Amino acid sequence: MTVIIKNAGVLSNEGSLERKHIAIEGGRITAIESELEVLGEAAEIIDAAGKLLIPGLIDMHVHLREPGFEHKETVETGSRSAAKGGFTTIACMPNTRPVTDSPEVVNFVKDKAREAGLVKVLPYAAITKGELGRELTDFTALKEAGAIGFTDDGVGVQSAQMMKDAMKIAAGLDMPVIAHCEDNSLVEGCAVAEGSFADKHGLKGIPNESEAIHVGRDILLAEATGVHYHVCHVSTEQSVRLIRQAKQIGIKVTAEVCPHHLLLSEEDIPGLDANWKMNPPLRSRRDVEACIEGLLDGTLDIIVTDHAPHSAEEKAKGMLLAPFGIVGFETAFPLLYTAFVATGKWDLALLVQRMTADPARIFRLDAGSLAVGATADLTLIDLDTEKEVDPATFASKGKNTPFTGWKLKGWPVMTWVDGKTVWTEQDAL
């Protein structure tokens, strides 16, 4: 069956928008033309006039919570939330219960994603059994089961020797190590960043060094082992500086940043509301500016959401006792488009690249491209309609966001995976 998306705004190689008609058949893009008549007959025609068509967004850092925490999210609800946010490929972290540290759990996640039939779900596997930092998992068996990389996200690997051993094995398997960088000796009992907000409320603060120490350590270990080392959710000026220096001397390091670390600082936290509690925490304006600069110059390669749903009851426990994390799928693109592209600070092409082509390149995915022959993973976006962020409308089980009430443009309205429609915003077309 041939599907034609007509009158879509497509980014040219020069970054301008051009009106194009796209034909899809067999899950791939078969034609991109300026004249509709060239494409012939189609079983379905979708008029995308006035909308932006881009490759499906890719999120390489998400939490789907299943198995073990289905009250927060499931593979199905998380996948639906991702599709609504314009994401077509997502990579889920292993800090579930049981931890994704065995082929059986990797296969469980893959099976759940297949049953959901929505977006492509790529499971990471844990570096250490139970994410306890004591014993390495069976990397070879986990790769064979379909894991795309190794990470103990949620906790940092505290032992340098353990991390070096993991990197050696991963390098031998041509697999990446993805690191949550946090020195536990510096963060015990902390809920927010070290700084003015912590001082004002009498809270113990998480210092920047807790992240940067692990970044520096792991860069040296990556240099020694030759592994592809990827840094999770970078949030500090020191980390950006270390990654930039590592890249300059040819160490194989890549890095990611979240929308909230590009948009918010500790100065923006309105009070002891745990919807503003995430790990890494919101830091200083200096750190925010360093992350923005790092993203623009390529030090930070990609944008991820770190989608981390929790129940309302859990977040109601307050800043000290509530779990870390906020949801991100359904607000990521509109937030960044409104704050940076619509204001003229960034080119639209840069934002799209950091959320599509760059993650596909870094993690060697068959995705992230809008070209003839490419997989028909696509997202249609309304750049003009302004709406408020309303957690009640989220497809995710999690409603925990600090962005409630923000007025944004750039909302995804239709999402295709392998040419199949997996999300359509009602009355959007």
CA atoms within 13 A on the CB side of 104: 4
Closest C-alpha to 89, from 304, 260, 254 = 304
Helices (H), 44-194: 75-84, 103-116, 139-145, 160-172
Distance of alpha carbon 25 from alpha carbon 222, whole angstroms: 42
| pLDDT reported for residue 426 | 80
| pLDDT reported for residue 428 | 65
8 A C-beta contact, residue 61 and residue 93: yes
Can you read off the two tokens belonging to residue 224?
A: 């020694």
Distance of alpha carbon 371 from alpha carbon 103, whole angstroms: 35
pLDDT tens string, the chain, 429 residues long: the values are 799 999 999 999 888 899 999 999 999 999 999 998 878 887 899 999 999 999 999 999 999 999 999 999 999 999 999 999 999 999 999 999 999 999 999 999 999 999 999 999 999 999 999 999 999 999 999 999 999 999 999 999 999 999 999 999 999 999 999 999 999 999 999 999 999 999 999 999 999 999 999 999 999 999 999 999 999 999 999 999 999 999 999 999 999 999 999 999 999 999 999 999 999 999 999 999 999 999 999 999 999 999 999 999 999 999 999 999 999 999 999 999 999 999 999 999 999 999 999 999 999 999 999 999 999 999 999 999 999 999 999 999 999 999 999 999 999 999 999 999 999 998 666
| pLDDT reported for residue 98 | 98
Distance of alpha carbon 421 from alpha carbon 378, whole angstroms: 9
CA distances from 279 to 129, 286, 327, 408 (A): 22, 18, 12, 25
Distance of alpha carbon 238 from alpha carbon 217, whole angstroms: 13
* CA dihedral for 64, 67, 70, 72, sign (positive or negative): negative
Distance of CA 270 to the CA centre of its chain: 25
Residues whose CB is less than 8 angstroms from the CB of residue 185 and which lie 6 or more positions away in sequence, other chains included: none
Query: How many Å is the Cα radius of gyration of the chain?
Result: 21
| pLDDT reported for residue 42 | 76
8 A C-beta contact, residue 416 and residue 88: yes
Can you read off the two tokens belonging to residue 249?
A: 């001397």
Asked if the 56-362 domain carries CATH number 3.60.15.10, the reply is: no
CA atoms within 13 A on the CB side of 260: 29
Can you read off the two tokens belonging to residue 220?
A: 């040296």
| pLDDT reported for residue 93 | 98
Whether this model's pTM surpasses 0.75: yes
| pLDDT reported for residue 303 | 98
Distance of alpha carbon 287 from alpha carbon 281, whole angstroms: 11
Fold for 3-53+374-396+406-424, please state it. Urease, subunit C; domain 1 (2.30.40)
Closest C-alpha to 79, from 329, 260, 326 = 329
| pLDDT reported for residue 41 | 80
Q: What is the 3-state secondary structure (H, E, C) of 120-150?
A: EEEECECCEHHHCCCCECCHHHHHHHCCCCE
Given the residues 101, 306, 358, 382, the one annotated as active site? 306
CA atoms within 13 A on the CB side of 245: 10
Q: Do domains 3-53+374-396+406-424 and 56-362 have the same CATH topology?
A: no
- Return the number of other C-beta atoms located less than 10 Å from residue 29's C-beta: 22
In the three-class reduction of DSSP (H, G, I as helix; E, B as strand; rest coil), residue 160 is classed as helix
Every domain of the chain and the residues it spans: 3-53+374-396+406-424, 56-362
Can you read off the two tokens belonging to residue 69?
A: 């925490």
User: For this structure, is 306 an active site residue?
Assistant: yes
| pLDDT reported for residue 230 | 98
